[in-house]
Amino acid sequence: MWELERKSKIPIYKQITDHLERRISYGEFPPGSLLPSERKLAEQLGVNRSTVILAFAELRSMGIIESQTGSGTRVSKTKWGATPKHTPNWSRYAEGGSFLPNLPFMRRIREALNQNPSLIDFASGELSADLAPNDEITTLMSENKYTSYLGYDNPQGYIPLRQALVSYLDQHRGIKTTESSILITSGSQQSLYLITQCLLSPGDAVAIEDPSYCYSLPMFQSAGLRLFRLPVDSQGVCPEDIRALYKKHRIKMVFMNPNYQNPTGTVFGAERRKQLLDVASELALPIVEDDPFSLTDYEGSPPSPLKSMDSIGSVLYIGSFSKIAASGMRIGWMVAPNSIVERLADARQQMDFGLSVIPQQVAAQFLKSNYFEPHLDRLRMQLQYKRDLLIEALQKELPGLVTFTAPQGGLHLWCKLVPDVHDGKLLEESIKRGIVFVPGSVYGSDSGFVRFTFARAKEAEIGLGISKFADALRELMNSK
């Protein structure tokens, strides 16, 4: 992100003028494209609006931009005084295509974090730097020379990593498989994307939990799928609801996050697991099991995955390093019948010719090393401590105004707000005060729920962040 040189002899308005002129000349803002408003640009740069007004006036005098009341400021179509050119209508292209953009709340959260990285982040579903095995990974990389061939790798993924995952899945998740039934991906979202694009067709009906992280992913709508919701209670979804949806809508697939479900933190009940697999067997219905949080179980005794109970091959199992090690490694995996693995590997090869082999080599070494188990122990302990800090802060700052059930694993706390407030207004008031969170409606729930992710924020920030959130909530309550 470009920053002003406040100690420079060049006036601030002139720096802004030169910066915008460069971006326009580079084609980042093509002719006819809309520039940020004076107020918004001033906020982004931390300057007075009058400074931006001067910069815009300078650009207008050069014929580079033009302003019209009610229409904002746009790059001139006759910039530099040249004859108008037939520039592509990039705005129309940006709004087109079949792949939908992220939901508005998610784009707003990302925008706020980009503009102000110092915001206390209760929104990002990733580990903070102090929870990642940075020292262990650095040691492994210094001890092992990655001198093998660095060309395109096997489309299914680096074979030693798949072999390491066979042992990992057996030891930690009770899943028996072979390397030929494992596909390495860049994470859970790529696994879901490949499934929705390659195994389903536009118009197909699928079932997702309600609320559900899947609801926040426009990739389902981009694939033309019809989404039907399965209500989540304290024991997860009811298997008979799946049977009912199948009879009514002929659903083709069920997407589940059984262990420490995102966003609710719910663990799917043991008896319901058996019932679900029976229903899936009866209806020949595939289940996609996304299992990113199990190993964060605070007691170190994670619930078994559905896949470990799957005797007939109904379950496509998805895992990832993102929630137990480091999201930046971009390592995920899928366990599926070999025919499905080959189909998805072929599709992924059309996208990127496979993942970088170096992170896969590091991940394979880490899984097999003596560092892995101690890292998990430390991660669980620190996550539980952060959860407790968050709960303590909510009880102190919002007594009687919020309800929740403390999760026994995962990264999230799902909260119901007692006062009736508007999701968007609460988010904006919170951003003004220096924090972000995810409104519950992003996951398909009614307004009045919030998801606080406690893994990203620093321990010292958690209490302060909830205090700021409480201020934002009370501001809305008092304004009614």
Q: 88 and 401 in contact (C-beta within 8 Å)?
A: no
Q: Please, what is the angle between helix 423-433 and helix 459-478, to 10°?
A: 130
Using pLDDT thresholds of 50, 70 and 90, give the confidence band for residue 83.
very low
Instruction: Indicate if the pLDDT at residue 87 is higher than 70.
Output: no
Per-residue pLDDT, 352: 83
The pLDDT assigned to 242 comes to: 96
Q: Please, which residues have CB within 8 angstroms of residue 468's CB and are 6 or more apart in sequence?
A: 120, 430, 433, 434, 435
Measured CA distances, 412 to 20, 42, 132, 302, 454 (Å): 40, 34, 17, 16, 6
Report the alpha-carbon distance of residue 345 to residue 87 in Å, rounded: 38
Report CA dihedral (106, 110, 115, 121) to the nearest 10 degrees.
100
Distance CA 354, CA 176 (A): 25
Q: Reply yes or no on whether the pLDDT at 363 is more than 70.
A: yes
Looking at residue 465, its pLDDT comes to 97
The pLDDT assigned to 82 comes to: 47
pLDDT tens-digit readout, 247-283: 999 999 999 999 999 999 999 999 999 999 999 999 9
- 393 φ, ψ (degrees, to nearest 5): -70, -40
Question: Which pLDDT score, from 0 to 100, does residue 81 have?
Answer: 47
129: alpha, beta or left? (left if phi > 0; alpha if psi -120 to 50): alpha
pLDDT in tens, 281-316: 999 999 999 999 999 999 999 999 999 999 899 999
Q: What percent of the chain has pLDDT over 90?
A: 61
pLDDT digits (tens, 9 = 90+) for 43-62: 888 899 999 999 999 888 88
Length of the chain: 480
pLDDT at 353: 81
Does the pLDDT of residue 405 top 90, yes or no?
yes
428's tokens: 């904006």
Question: pTM of this prediction?
Answer: 0.82
Residues 6+ apart with CB under 8 A from 37: 72, 73
pLDDT at 86: 55
Question: Looking at residue 148, what is its pLDDT?
Answer: 66
**What are the distances in angstroms from CA 86 to CA 29, 69, 89, 185, 468?**
15, 25, 9, 41, 50
At residue 27 the predicted structure's pLDDT band, cuts being 50, 70 and 90, is confident
CB neighbours of residue 134 within 10 Å: 11
Q: What is the mean pLDDT of residues 72-95?
A: 67
Distance CA 255, CA 259 (A): 13
% residues pLDDT > 70 (the chain): 96
Do 426 and 399 meet the contact criterion of CB atoms below 8 Å apart?
no
pLDDT at 383 over 70: yes
Three state DSSP letters for the chain: CCCCCCCCCCCHHHHHHHHHHHHHHCCCCCCCCECCCHHHHHHHHCCCHHHHHHHHHHHHHCCCEEEECCCEEEECCCHHHCCCCCCCCHHHHHHCCCCCCCCHHHHHHHHHHHHCCCCEECCCCCCCHHHCCHHHHHHHHHHCCCCCCCCCCCCCCCHHHHHHHHHHHHHHHCCCCCHHHEEEECCHHHHHHHHHHHCCCCCCEEEEEECCHHHHCCHHHHCCCEEEEEECECCECCHHHHHHHHHHHCCCEEEECCCCCCCCCCCCCHHHHHHHHHHHHHHCCCEEEECCCHHHCCCCCCCCCHHHHCCCCCEEEEEECCCCCCHHHCCEEEECCHHHHHHHHHHHHHHHCCCCHHHHHHHHHHHHCCCHHHHHHHHHHHHHHHHHHHHHHHHHHCCCCEEECCCCCCCEEEEEECCCCCHHHHHHHHHHHCEECEEHHHHCCCCCEEEEECCCCCHHHHHHHHHHHHHHHHHHHHCC
pLDDT exceeds cutoff 90 at 182: yes
pLDDT bucket at 327, cuts 50 / 70 / 90:
confident
Tell whether the model's pLDDT for residue 142 goes beyond 70.
yes
User: Please, what is the angle between helix 12-25 and helix 49-61, to 10°?
Assistant: 50
* Structural domains of the chain in order of their starting residue, each with its CATH number: 12-95 (1.10.10.10), 104-131+375-478 (3.90.1150.10), 147-370 (3.40.640.10)
Question: 238 and 230 in contact (C-beta within 8 Å)?
Answer: yes
Look at 274-283, 348-357, 389-398 and tell me which has the smallest mean pLDDT: 348-357
Residue 100's alpha-carbon distances to 97, 219, 344, in angstroms, are 8, 7, 22
Lowest mean pLDDT among 98-107, 146-155, 237-246, 261-270: 146-155
| Residue 22: band (very low, low, confident or very high) from pLDDT cuts 50, 70, 90 | confident
pLDDT at 141: 85
Give the residue, 205 or 134, on which the prediction is more confident. 205
Copy the structure tokens of residue 42: 């001033």
User: pLDDT tens for residues 217-254?
Assistant: 889 999 999 999 999 999 999 999 999 999 999 999 99
Considering the chain, what is the average pLDDT of its residues?
Answer: 90
Task: Indicate if the pLDDT at residue 403 is higher than 90.
Answer: yes
Flag whether pLDDT at 93 surpasses 90. Answer: no
The arithmetic mean of pLDDT across residues 157-182, rounded, is 94
Joined tokens for residue 479: 């304004």
For the segment 198-204, the average pLDDT, to the nearest whole number, is 95
Q: Tokens in use for 306?
A: 């559905």
Neighbouring CB atoms inside 10 A of 82's CB total: 11
Q: What does the pLDDT average to over 157-167?
A: 94
Non-local (6+) Cβ contacts of 135 within 8 A are none
